[in-house]
Amino acid sequence: MNSSDGFATSLSERIGLFLSFARPRTCLPGMLAFYLGCTLLGLPLDLDVLIGLLITFLYSAVANLFNAYSDIAEDNQNIPARLYLLGLYGRKRLLRSAYAVCVLMLAAAALVGPVFVLLTAVCVVIAHQYSLPPFRVKARPMLSLGLFALDVAFPFLMAPAISADGPAVAGNWPFLLMAGYLFLWFVAKGLVKNLPDFEGDREAGLSTSATISGTRQRAAIAAAAGTALVYLAPLFLVACGQYSERYLITLVWFPVVCFQCARMIMRDDNQSANNMLRFDMIVSTGYLSTWVLLADTSLASLCVVAGSLAVIFLMDALKLDTRKKEDIG
């Protein structure tokens, strides 16, 4: 597809298309992970934390924008409707918009401090190099899983940069253990997200964690097994004495996850796989929200969780996403 400035003329149409490519409903796990880090460190919801919430939300959004710009061949196979929307918005405009978001992130980080600017710059590099040259990490299956998992683990690790006692986190074993857990949790999420696009990615010649499995069935079993294991991990976190027993409440999500795993394995048509993936974002957001509320039941945390859930349901109601149900055949 040739780059262009698109055909959408009205401001409202451009805003709607921008939000569809940014995919706000998928930007919540990283933001919630950052806030979870803040609650575990006992940080209040002040201006610095609010800026951190914005930046970690935009981190995922700009990754989505770069991804939509780069993935022409894959989207032609998996979500052709996305290319139509790209033509309306304009590929050149999409890239400019992505860089504008990067500048906004860095400018906002400057209000927090130099360390936060540096960490935000790392976010920008990760988001850019996941999809774009020279590294285009998403074309390297195992490495791409790790970089994808940083979408949640890295925002969590940004929380100490706001705390006056940030360096002390080096000896905070519960915090470090949670960082490792969130990384593994989102590695499993990466296995799931690649599943619906198995056939299209293979046709486009892209190697992913799904396509290297050889068959979609094997990829589904691997994704289901990894998903089940990470949602049982609170048992380990509590058993090793780093978290109190109240965190076992997070296991209420396990039956829902088992249902999701069954859908991965038993339903292999594109529509069902896409519906599974869309619902999985609700599960991920709900799961992290549960961790947040178990760590801190303040009004501030309730507002953050309520706002996150509102974003998902509002975006779904307005159909501001480039992976809508009706876009998948």
Give the pLDDT confidence score for residue 148 in this predicted structure: 98
- Rounded Cα distance between 215 and 198, Å, is 9
Per-residue pLDDT for 7 more than 90? no
Q: Which residues of 214-242 are buried (b: 16+ CB within 10 A; e: fewer)?
A: eebeebbebbbebbeebbebbeebbeeeb
Neighbours of 303 (CB within 10 A): 11
∠ CA 30-36-37, nearest 5°, is: 95
* Percentage, residues of the chain above pLDDT 90: 91
CB-based contact 82:2 (threshold 8 Å): no
Q: What's the rounded mean pLDDT across residues 36-51?
A: 98
Per-residue pLDDT for 2 more than 60? no
Give the pLDDT confidence score for residue 117 in this predicted structure: 99
Per-residue pLDDT for 1 more than 60? no
Sign of the dihedral through C-alpha 290, 293, 299, 304? negative
Per-residue pLDDT for 284 more than 80? yes
User: What would the pLDDT profile of 13-24 be if each residue is shown by its tens digit?
Assistant: 999 999 999 999
User: What would the pLDDT profile of 56-111 be if each residue is shown by its tens digit?
Assistant: 999 999 999 999 999 999 999 999 999 999 999 999 999 999 999 999 999 999 99
Q: What's the rounded mean pLDDT across residues 136-155?
A: 97
H-state helical runs in the chain: 11-22, 28-40, 47-70, 72-78, 80-89, 91-110, 114-131, 141-158, 173-193, 198-203, 216-232, 234-239, 254-266, 270-295, 299-318
Neighbours of 312 (CB within 10 A): 18
What's the chain's Rg over C-alpha atoms? Answer: 19
Task: Determine the distance from the C-alpha atom of residue 197 to the mean position of all C-alpha atoms in its chain, rounded to a whole number.
Answer: 17
Q: How confident is the model at residue 5 (pLDDT cuts 50, 70, 90)?
A: confident
Per-residue pLDDT for 31 more than 80? yes
